[in-house]
Structure 1
Amino acid sequence: MRLHHVQIAIPVGAEDECRRFYVDVLGMREVAKPPVLAARGGLWVGCAEVEIHLGVEEDFRPARKAHPGIQVEDVDALAERLSTAGIAVAWDENLPGYRRFHVFDCFGNRLEFLQPV
């Protein structure tokens, strides 16, 4: 088994704002949704083997604790990119063997980025 994707909830009509964060700031690419699923709204993004499906939820509440942990090749460069874009980066030294930080996306969903040391 392996993980295919992670679903994160977003508010109705938030696709363009999510594109600005996930594609423009994080550097992910947009993944085409099948037409039957595209009709539901939302946005799929990915990079390498990681896919995040941003699904519309009528009664949206951000995931402040639950989060995907995304391993990256250069955690410091990503942290700098996010900081430059005005996104607060919260470093966490509590996971032995990794440098990692947490951020919140444009709607308050928590994301973790980490790199083995």
Structure 2
Amino acid sequence: MLFSFKGIDHVQLAAPKGSEEEAIKFFADVLGFKEIEKPAELKKRGGVWFTFGTSQLHIGIEEPFQAAKKAHPAFEVQNLEELKRHLAANHVKFIDDPNLPGANRIYLSDPFGNRIELLEWD
């Protein structure tokens, strides 16, 4: 094979029109992702971009909007128990899921109803 995949550059989640500030409050202020500037040509489409680790999360505006209830990104975290306490303190509801052997994981929804998985491997 003359090609190979190197990793994930970014994950995109959809959000409704005008939701950029709410996205910043959740992904930057609560989850701790760092907001990054979108290229000038793409700014007119709306949305907001974040970086974490070596990847990016793009929140794209979609009209009409429909949240992803099953399809989801899974973010690997360090110290999930501390993150769970942080989420609870910020009134973010989550569901523990013990069904993946070797992983401590939870599911939550972003402010727009998109499903997100957070997990820490043993």
Find out whether 1:37 has 2:42 as its counterpart.
Answer: yes
Find out whether 1:47 has 2:14 as its counterpart.
Answer: no
Structure 1 partner of 2:93: 88
Task: Give 1:19's aligned amino acid.
Answer: I
Residue correspondences, number? 117
Question: How far apart in 1 are the matches of 2:114 and 2:103?
Answer: 22
Q: CA offset at residue 50 of structure 1?
A: 2.8
Note the residue ranges of structure 2 that are not aligned, 5 or more in a row: none
Structure 1 partner of 2:27: 22
Q: Give SS of 2:9's match.
A: coil
Which structure 1 residue ranges, 4+ long, deviate > 2 Å from structure 2? none
Task: Give 1:38's aligned amino acid.
Answer: K
Q: Under a length normalisation based on structure 2, what TM-score does the superposition of the two structures give?
A: 0.93
Question: How far apart in 2 are the matches of 1:77 and 1:31?
Answer: 25
Question: How far apart in 2 are the matches of 1:66 and 1:111?
Answer: 9
Q: Give SS of 2:107's match.
A: strand
Q: Under a length normalisation based on structure 1, what TM-score does the superposition of the two structures give?
A: 0.97
Question: How far apart in 1 are the matches of 2:55 and 2:95?
Answer: 22
Note the residue ranges of structure 1 that are not aligned, 5 or more in a row: none
Question: How far apart in 2 are the matches of 1:66 and 1:80?
Answer: 25
Q: CA offset at residue 51 of structure 1?
A: 1.2
Q: CA offset at residue 89 of structure 1?
A: 1.3
Q: CA offset at residue 39 of structure 1?
A: 1.4
Question: Which structure would you say has the larger Rg?
Answer: 2
Structure 1 partner of 2:69: 64
Task: Give 1:75's aligned amino acid.
Answer: L
